[in-house]
Structure 1
């Protein structure tokens, strides 16, 4: 039978109130009595259910999400999911704050982490810029006892507690495999559009894409990466310039700014439009799939990522285990034929 606080009290010969004081490290218990209770805990093999204890005490978990403030459709959806979670605060016993930082700005992210640390949060989630100074700020936060989850884009270091996002190397490999098959052994150039190579998710997608292209589709030549900073206007300009200077058979958009991608594609004659793989099923990419401007979209579920982040932060705050299988974020592949 699982030991309880009642069995500890009986074994140690003390009251339930005394056991509660010892388990919660409260004063008012003599050293000898505290030693008897601790010996009873060890002898009986008692393991405290911290989550249940916190529930009984109606503990509130203050969490902070640090999100990039830009006109990225996926990031807007991510923010919406965080706000949705915040609206359930009463049920989930959370208090969720959002801190905005400029996209791809490591210095701003460090400053935000330092400011958040002063508020004493129970956990922090951030869309990471993969820079040493960000990793150091995360390490300092964790050293102060605050668990940290990276969301969507990870750090190269292991300073964070958990990553809530897809396997981005696998995503890049999947994109290459699809694009190579769509092009059916043809020879020519492939364009690659990223948001910024400062973020790990974009670098890993690029790494996976290049690896498969080199081994499986050597007849396709990869052009230098265009960094659109997830800005539709910048993306449109960069692609128009590249379309004017190269005959492009395929295009992998591994970041955002896809409204600019669509506008650039629409300027091309139908016979000259490349096969396109993009990321994230948004209103823009859905419409592009339906009319044939985009051939496939790789998607991650922003809602799952936010819910997973909150579960992990709660578990870390409670000292409880994380169920890895539950927190795995799936990569979905959408064609116009299987749109939800």
Structure 2
């Protein structure tokens, strides 16, 4: 194999006929270089296909990059998995002079989440946040961005804000996928379908609900989708609302949980001996949902990979801080569908 020769900043300087210091100033967009010299250096870099050594530049910095992940408190097993993956990502990136810390906050409380974000500005270069679609949260994100902090939204988006990127699945498509699966599992039966969400202030939950109702109305008009019930992703609250749903709806044929708290739905179904009779579509493959997918209480799981999301958020923040482009295909979070026959 012929070894690949790496183009260095010295090569660019020779090609452009300038000093290494001048090339460094141009490539790092610092002032004090004449426009014709800038053009000559940029042309030399393009001709040689020069790629800067980002790790070397990072190691030469006076301090590390500091990123903060703002994640939810509570019993949401997926978010606990995401927390673990963030910590694993932090451990891997330490050698690259990147420091990642985690703050836990009640993301269902817009004012509390906004206050936490407002406290981060002076301490961090980048922030990844599970966002609530709330005016105070959008303003807090905008305040961080105006202060030069790069912000990405994670799992749930705040698209009206100045965040640089959203790291998560297409939640409308996820809801449509769940509807198609549930409708086909129910088959020719007629009846009602229950919807359970964590909070309609979470954009991912709203988008999943929208996609689900869109497909149900178009493809399965014999099934009536009931008004959504909120359980704040807490399994005890979810069990309470599910038990009420089952008691009030003898012709219930399906349940779609757009958020977390699946333990509560399983408990309510088993307590009423209606598991198997009521088709149950859930999100996120966890040890608990995996077990009940195999047992048949859960019929299918729409999944997103927390490890991919944690790593992607860190990569996007780093790219934003270093003003380098991301690789869109690498950062696209895909939707996985698991049945008991294909779980990994």
TM-score (norm 2): 0.89
Q: Which residue of 2 aligns with 1:8?
A: 13
Q: Which residue of 1 aligns with 2:193?
A: 190
Between stretches 52-61 and 201-210, larger displacement belongs to: 52-61
Between stretches 287-296 and 49-58, larger displacement belongs to: 49-58
Q: Which residue of 1 aligns with 2:60?
A: 57
1:173 equivalenced with 2:207 (yes/no): no
Q: Which residue of 2 aligns with 1:110?
A: 114
Candidates 98, 101, 104, aligned match of 1:97: 101
Tell me if structure 2 keeps the 8 A contact 1:8–1:37. Answer: no
1:81 equivalenced with 2:98 (yes/no): no
Please, which runs of 5 or more residues in structure 2 have no aligned partner? 1-5
Return the alpha-carbon distance in structure 1 between the equivalents of residues 39 and 276 of structure 2: 78
Aligned CA RMSD, in angstroms, stands at: 2.6
Cα displacement string for residues 133-191 of structure 1 (whole angstroms, at most 9, x for unaligned residues): 21121122112222111111111315211111111101100110011111112111101
Tell me if structure 2 keeps the 8 A contact 1:250–1:276. Answer: yes
Candidates 144, 147, 152, aligned match of 2:150: 147
TM-score (norm 1): 0.90
Candidates 229, 234, 242, aligned match of 1:231: 234
Return the alpha-carbon distance in structure 2 between the equivalents of residues 319 and 199 of structure 1: 30
1:255 equivalenced with 2:259 (yes/no): yes
Return the alpha-carbon distance in structure 1 between the equivalents of residues 35 and 185 of structure 2: 71
Q: Which residue of 2 aligns with 1:286?
A: 290
Candidates 203, 209, 212, aligned match of 2:212: 209
Residues 70 and 6 from structure 1, CA distance in 2 versus in 1: closer, same or farther, beyond 3 angstroms?
same
Tell me if structure 2 keeps the 8 A contact 1:12–1:37. Answer: no
Tell me if structure 1 keeps the 8 A contact 2:9–2:23. Answer: no
Tell me if structure 1 keeps the 8 A contact 2:107–2:130. Answer: no
Q: Displacement of 1:43 after TM fit?
A: 5.7
Residue 338 of structure 1: SS of its match in structure 2? coil
Residues 264 and 60 from structure 1, CA distance in 2 versus in 1: closer, same or farther, beyond 3 angstroms?
same
Return the alpha-carbon distance in structure 1 between the equivalents of residues 328 and 246 of structure 2: 44
Tell me if structure 2 keeps the 8 A contact 1:156–1:200. Answer: no
Q: Which residue of 1 aligns with 2:243?
A: 240
Q: Displacement of 1:203 after TM fit?
A: 0.3
Residues 52 and 171 from structure 1, CA distance in 2 versus in 1: closer, same or farther, beyond 3 angstroms?
same
Tell me if structure 2 keeps the 8 A contact 1:165–1:305. Answer: yes
Q: Displacement of 1:235 after TM fit?
A: 0.9
Please, which runs of 5 or more residues in structure 1 have no aligned partner? none
Return the alpha-carbon distance in structure 1 between the equivalents of residues 236 and 16 of structure 2: 72
Q: Which residue of 2 aligns with 1:41?
A: 41
Candidates 70, 86, 108, aligned match of 2:74: 70
Between stretches 15-24 and 330-339, larger displacement belongs to: 15-24
Residue 113 of structure 1: SS of its match in structure 2? helix
Return the alpha-carbon distance in structure 2 between the equivalents of residues 271 and 253 of structure 1: 15
Superposed counterparts of 1:268-283, under 5 Å: 268-270=272-274, 273-283=277-287
Return the alpha-carbon distance in structure 2 between the equivalents of residues 20 and 159 of structure 1: 30
Cα displacement string for residues 9-52 of structure 1 (whole angstroms, at most 9, x for unaligned residues): 67555x4346546766789xxx6x76775464256456773725
Tell me if structure 1 keeps the 8 A contact 2:242–2:268. Answer: yes
